[in-house]
Structure 1
C-alpha cells in the first residue's frame, strides 16, 4: 500500500539532496527510496536522500541519516548538514542557532548565521578533527599516505589520504581541466587501496590562493560540491605546504570557507544552504 511523503529539496553549493522529516513520515527502506528518488530522469533528482529526526540521545538535538544516489549509506555530509540547520530553523522546528546534530561520524555543531529577516543565510559546521591514520579506510602498512603514488588505469596520481569520518583521497594537479574526472574518479573509488571505497578530490591551487576542486563522490559520482571533500582538500593542502590552514575551496556549485583551527585541531566549514522546492511523492 502506498502513502504520500512530503519532502523538501535543498542544495548546499549545488550538492543537492531530498530531505524528509522521519518524525512525520517513516521510510522503511531508505536505500531503495534513495535510488528511486535520486534518479534525475525518472525521479525527483538528487545526489541522495537525507532523513531528519529528533536525536535518540540527550547529547544531540537532532539526528541525520544520509543515503547516496546508489543506496549506500554515508557517514556524513557537510553540505547536507548545513541544509539541515536551515531546514530545522527556517521551518520552525527549532529556534536554536547552535544545533547539535548526531551523525554516523559523531555529533556536529551547526552555527547558523541569520539575515535581518531571521532566515538562515549560511551555516558553519564544526566538522571535528581530521583523521590522517585509518587502517580500515586505507590499506597501507601504517594506514597513512601523504603525497603518495597510486596507479589508476593508464595514469599514476600523487595524493593525500584524509578521513573526515568518511575517506577522502586528494590529488593536486597543475591543470584540473585536463583530468577525466568520471573515468579516473570511478577507478580510484574502487581501488584496492581503499577497503571502504573512497571519495576522490582533484584540486588545483589558483594564483589567488583559492583551491579549485572537483569531486568524484563515493556512491554518487561527480557532484557539484562535497563538504567533507572541501575539508579534506584544505587539510591536504596545508599538510603538503600548498596553502595556509584557512582557505577558500571553489567547487562546481560554489565556494566554501574552510578553516583548520590550530587551537583545537577541528575543521570549520562555512557555506550557503538553499531551499529548492517542496513536494510530495508516493512511497510504497
Structure 2
C-alpha cells in the first residue's frame, strides 16, 4: 500500500467530512477511497473513522493520526517546493475569490500590476456574493469584506477598514428634503441589500457617543450592491454602502453623504486562506502584494 497516498486520502476525507466529497475532489470513485482507508486501518491495527449513514467522524486514534498526517504532508510539500528551483517563483494557477462589487470596482486598480509582476502565474478569478468554502472549492485566497468572521480553521489577514455610510443622489434631497436627524430617516425610502438579515434596520452612532436604531421604509431591495448603487445614483432613495463602493461617485458628485455626522457599524477587508505551515509562493506573493497595497488608505474617510 502507498501509505503517503493513503495519508493524503485520509486527510482529505476528514477535511471534507465525507467520502463522497473527497472522491469528487480527487476525481476518483467513493469505493477507491473507502478501500484505501480500510486498508490503512488494517495496516495500523486500529479504527480511524466512525461511520454512520448520516455522518463520519474520526475516532480518538483517527484524530491523532490526522494530526500526524497534516504535519508529515505539509513537511513533504515544503520539501518539494524548496528543492524545486522552478517553484521558488510564483507559478501555476492562483484561484482567487472576491465579492462581485469588489471585483468590479477594486481589482482594476491593482490586479494588472500584480499579474505583470508574476508573468508565469495564471489567475483564476471567481466573483460571487455567496459563501465560498475555500477547501471544498480549492480556492487559494478569498478577499472578503465583512463585520464578522466565523470561527474556522482558515487564516484571516486584516488588510484595511471598510467604513459604511449613508448616501443619496444630489437631486434626491432637493426633491424630498434633507434628513438632519436619524428620526427623519423614517420618512425616507431605503434602498436595501436583501442578503442582510435586517436590511431595513440601521444602527447609527453619532456625536458624543449617541446611539440610535432606525427602521426605514423599504423602497427597493436587491441582492446586488452594484444595482443598488445605480438606483441610488438615479435618485430612487437613500442607501448604505461600504465606502469603497461609492467613493468615486462621492468624489465626482453623483452621490452625496446623508447624515455625515452619524456612522453605521464599520466592516473590514480580509484576505482569507487555508491554514498551512508552508505557504505556496503564489499565495505568499498575493498576500504580500495586497497587504502592501491596502496598507495605504484607498478610500476617502
Normalising TM by the smaller chain, what interval? under 0.3
Structure number with larger C-alpha Rg:
2
- Greater strand fraction, Structure 1 or Structure 2: 1
TM-score between both structures, scaled by the size of structure 2: 0.25
Indicate the structure with greater helix content: 2
